[in-house]
């Protein structure tokens, strides 16, 4: 799910507004949250470091994951230092939180499937008939109360 978190400073009132929106379907974005923070407290928390920033940012209604919190902190460091800047948008795709998978490659040393499946390379028709000669039909008796009977 793609998210946009927008930080807006209202310097006059000393308020920082955090707005979160999310793309629920391709091209369909809905607003999820709007939270107000004390601007001065957020600036100080950002200066102190990630722990203070995330502790102040997280609330019961807005609790970003650690990965997202790190990205928000790193993106907003300069935003909080610069008094002229009033808005910053952080885009986050939650697939960023998953580790990238390595593509499978068949190494030269790997054994090919065909070689594994070949026993001795010479299967006789009599051997196949011998294997198939047994009757594999399940048989149940009236005394059998197993669940397989039902």
Do the domain assignments include residue 122? no
Do the domain assignments include residue 42? yes
Tally Cβ neighbours within 10 Å of residue 27. 6
Domain encompassing residue 81: 2-97
Do the domain assignments include residue 104? no
Do the domain assignments include residue 128? no
Residue ranges of E strands in the chain: 2-10, 15-25, 28-38, 87-93
Do the domain assignments include residue 121? no
Residue pLDDT tens, the chain, 150 long:
789 999 999 999 999 999 999 998 888 999 999 999 999 999 999 999 999 999 999 999 999 999 999 999 999 999 999 999 999 999 998 776 676 666 666 665 556 666 666 655 555 666 656 655 666 677 766 676 666 554
Query: What DSSP letter does each residue of 2-30 carry, written as one string?
Result: EEEEEEEEETTTTEEEEEEEEEEETTEEE
Do the domain assignments include residue 38? yes
Tally Cβ neighbours within 10 Å of residue 111. 8
Q: How many domains does the chain have?
A: 1
Do the domain assignments include residue 141? no
Verdict on whether the full-model pTM lies above 0.85: no
């Amino acid at each position: 799910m793609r998210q946009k978190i927008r930080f807006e400073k209202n310097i006059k009132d000393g308020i920082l507004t955090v707005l979160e929106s999310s793309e629920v379907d391709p091209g369909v974005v809905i607003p999820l949250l709007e939270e107000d923070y004390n601007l001065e407290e957020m600036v100080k928390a950002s200066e102190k470091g990630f722990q203070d920033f995330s502790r102040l940012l997280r609330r019961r209604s807005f609790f970003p994951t650690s990965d997202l919190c790190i990205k928000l902190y790193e993106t907003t460091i300069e935003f909080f230092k610069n008094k002229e800047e009033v808005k910053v948008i952080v885009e986050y795709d939650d697939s960023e939180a998953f580790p990238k998978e390595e593509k499978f490659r068949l190494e030269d040393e790997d054994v090919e499937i065909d070689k594994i499946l070949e026993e001795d390379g010479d299967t006789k028709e009599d051997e196949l008939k011998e294997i198939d000669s047994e009757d594999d039909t399940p048989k149940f008796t009236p005394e059998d109360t197993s669940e397989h009977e039902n």
